[in-house]
């Protein structure tokens, strides 16, 4: 259904002046910011589910084989839902990249520790931590949490910003349209790229509070761009094309995103609707 390309990320490290993004699928990315390799919401399992025999199955296999990853330094987790936090993947990273540091929103650390993860920093919204010379900040999002009915909303959900000097990336996590995108940018920008979710939005009467539609994602990007101190910021589409979670056709999110981008008369060079496996350079030197 969707093209899959061979990743072209440098290994083991990118150059000091580069920001590179490689789309693994759904909300999982390899972010290389300078010499630091970061995984965002990594999921390599075939289902977004507590069991291996039922639940949403992948339409597209992970576009980067796990064994092909470069050395992983940091892992950022936005919340505890199965399509963003996967038990088998956590164990694989734990075993293959034991020195990786993990950052998670409040309450998620206990789950990670129970799976053998040692280096965990939990943050509340607007709180920051320094790791490997990067400033990483937990940002507000409009969503919910819970891996079962009995622990719904017992842990926090969030987005993340990652800053290395004058360069920065904003990963919005999983979120509905909220009024804080401008404030996030004013406080923590300017950004070279904003990773924004565009899928899992139908039916709107049910999904609107927690998942942006493509039109809402473009609107959120406009808030970011208007507060970005004049710096060009790439829109990177996330949370689509991998798991069927809701009612919209699998190929609708990118089509609607491109249409809304054109209708909004935004710079076509700044729209990154990536192919699975694609590596994209963002920002300026």
Is residue 238 a part of any domain in this protein? yes
Is residue 6 a part of any domain in this protein? no
Is residue 11 a part of any domain in this protein? no
Binned average pLDDT, 10 residues per bin, the chain of 285 residues: 92 95 98 97 94 86 97 98 96 98 98 96 98 97 88 91 97 98 98 98 96 98 98 98 95 98 98 98 78
232 sits in which H/E element: none
Rounded-to-integer distance, Cα 255 and Cα 66, Å: 29
Reported residue count of the chain is 285
Strands 36-40 and 28-33, sheet pairing: antiparallel
DSSP classification of residue 193: E
DSSP lists the bridge partners of residue 279 as: 22
pLDDT at residue 284, as a whole number: 66
Is residue 208 a part of any domain in this protein? yes
Rounded-to-integer distance, Cα 260 and Cα 206, Å: 22
pLDDT at residue 26, as a whole number: 98
- Token readout for 93 is 């990273």
Q: From the CA atom positions of the chain, what is the Rg in Å?
A: 17
Q: What angle do CA 64, 250, 139 make, to 5 degrees?
A: 65
Give the number of domains in the chain. Answer: 1
Within 10 angstroms of residue 232's Cβ, the number of other Cβ atoms is 16
Enclosing domain of residue 44:
19-281
Is residue 13 a part of any domain in this protein? no
- Token readout for 198 is 């565009």
Q: Contact, 96 vs 66, CB < 8 A? A: yes
Is residue 3 a part of any domain in this protein? no
By three-state DSSP, how is residue 118 classified? coil
Is residue 218 a part of any domain in this protein? yes
Is residue 1 a part of any domain in this protein? no
Q: pTM of the predicted model, to two decimals?
A: 0.97
| Residue 272, Ramachandran bin (φ over 0: left; ψ between -120 and 50: alpha; else beta) | beta
- CATH number of domain containing 150: 3.60.15.10
Closest by CA to 38, choosing from 93, 110, 112, 114, is: 93
């Amino acid at each position: 259904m969707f093209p899959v390309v061979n990743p072209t990320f440098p290994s083991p490290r990118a150059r000091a002046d580069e920001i590179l993004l490689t789309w693994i699928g759904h909300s999982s990315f390899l972010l290389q910011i300078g010499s630091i390799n970061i995984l965002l919401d990594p999921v390599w399992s075939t289902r977004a589910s507590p069991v291996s025999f039922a639940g949403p199955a992948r339409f597209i296999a992970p576009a980067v084989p796990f064994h092909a990853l470069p050395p992983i330094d940091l892992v950022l987790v936005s919340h505890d839902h199965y399509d963003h936090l996967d038990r088998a993947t956590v164990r694989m990273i734990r075993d293959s990249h034991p020195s990786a540091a993990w950052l998670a929103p409040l309450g998620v650390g206990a789950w990670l520790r129970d799976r053998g993860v040692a280096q965990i920093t939990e943050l509340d919204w607007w709180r920051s931590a320094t790791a490997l010379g990067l400033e990483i900040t937990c940002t507000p999002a409009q969503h919910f949490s819970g891996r079962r009915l009995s622990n719904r909303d017992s842990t926090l959900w969030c987005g993340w910003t990652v800053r290395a000097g004058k360069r920065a990336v904003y990963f919005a996590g999983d979120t509905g349209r909220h009024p804080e995108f401008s404030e996030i940018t004013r406080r923590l920008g300017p950004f070279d790229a904003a990773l924004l979710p565009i899928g899992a939005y139908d039916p709107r009467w049910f999904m609107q509070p927690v998942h942006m539609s493509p039109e809402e994602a473009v609107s959120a990007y406009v808030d970011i761009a208007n507060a970005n101190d004049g710096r060009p910021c790439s829109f990177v589409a996330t949370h689509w094309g991998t798991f069927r979670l809701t009612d919209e056709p699998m190929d609708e999110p990118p089509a609607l995103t491109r249409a809304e981008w054109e209708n909004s008369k935004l710079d076509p060079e700044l729209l990154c609707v990536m192919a699975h496996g694609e590596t994209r350079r963002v920002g300026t030197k």
